[in-house]
Amino acid sequence: MSFFRDFLKMFKKREVVLVESYKESEDVYTFRFKKDSEVNWIAGQHGLFSITHKKIKNALKPFTVASAPTENSIQLTMRISQNPSEFKRAMLELKPGMTVSMTGPVGTFHPSDTGRPLVMIAGGIGITPFRSILKQLEMEGGGGGRAIHLLYLDSKKSYLFKDELDDLTQHLSLQVAYLDTRDDLHQEVDKLAAKYKNDGQYLIAGPKSMVSELAAYMQSKKISKRNIRKDAFFGY
């Protein structure tokens, strides 16, 4: 059923209007678009976005929707370097009232609807799907008491959404570990893999190399591949 729903969404394209944009940190920007009542998604999914105000090459890109479906905006948060791609330069040109085109959102990167312990592992900008997931769990009443862990790796220690994440620990059975080295991350993974084994569900989002390495590491700890969901972010 979810495949069929996503398949239909791939044929639905809509223009979304920019409400505001702002800088989150040194090289990270947030763009908030108006959310129409008929737009819906599952927390953790991504949309396919295209530039409409100018003609560029490779004008269609996937971005995770960082807002929860129950929030009143479509939020994109992305890293934009000092030498950005043509697509991201066009994003920086957007002014309130301008539009981009969105298809979807689609994807399977979201928790299953069970009470199993949930372990979420974010690398850098890979925190965006987890913001959506955690905000949605909060809106739904706290996640049903399931144990939730967020391991957040950021070598720059900028930790996007930190204030929001810390607040969410007051409303969910959520523990957040802010980490800045891969060794520290492995130690935390070891603890949780030993505690929950294959009774847990494990979600990993971040740069492709980090996601691939960590998934292999977890499987070496006897975590079944079927219990690991991955969302690899590519730079562009």
Q: Which residues contact 191 (CB under 8 A, 6 or more apart)?
A: none
Instruction: Report pLDDT for 3.
Output: 44
Instruction: Report pLDDT for 4.
Output: 41
**Regarding the domain delimited by 2-106, which CATH topology (the fold level of the hierarchy) does it fall under?**
Elongation Factor Tu (Ef-tu); domain 3 (2.40.30)
Indicate the pairing of strand 201-207 with strand 118-123: parallel
pTM score of the predicted model: 0.92
pLDDT, tens digit, for every residue of 79-132? 999 899 999 999 999 999 999 999 999 999 999 877 899 999 999 999 999 999
Locate CATH 3.40.50.80 in the chain.
Answer: 118-233
Indicate the pairing of strand 174-179 with strand 73-79: unpaired
Mean pLDDT over residues 177-196, rounded? 97
Locate CATH 2.40.30.10 in the chain.
Answer: 2-106
The burial class, CB within 10 Å (0-12 / 13-18 / 19+), for 23 is: exposed
**Regarding the domain delimited by 118-233, which CATH topology (the fold level of the hierarchy) does it fall under?**
Rossmann fold (3.40.50)
CA–CA separation, 188 and 141 (whole Å)? 27
Q: Do 73 and 25 touch, CB atoms closer than 8 A?
A: no
Mean pLDDT over residues 50-76, rounded? 94
Indicate the pairing of strand 228-233 with strand 13-25: unpaired
Instruction: Report pLDDT for 11.
Output: 55
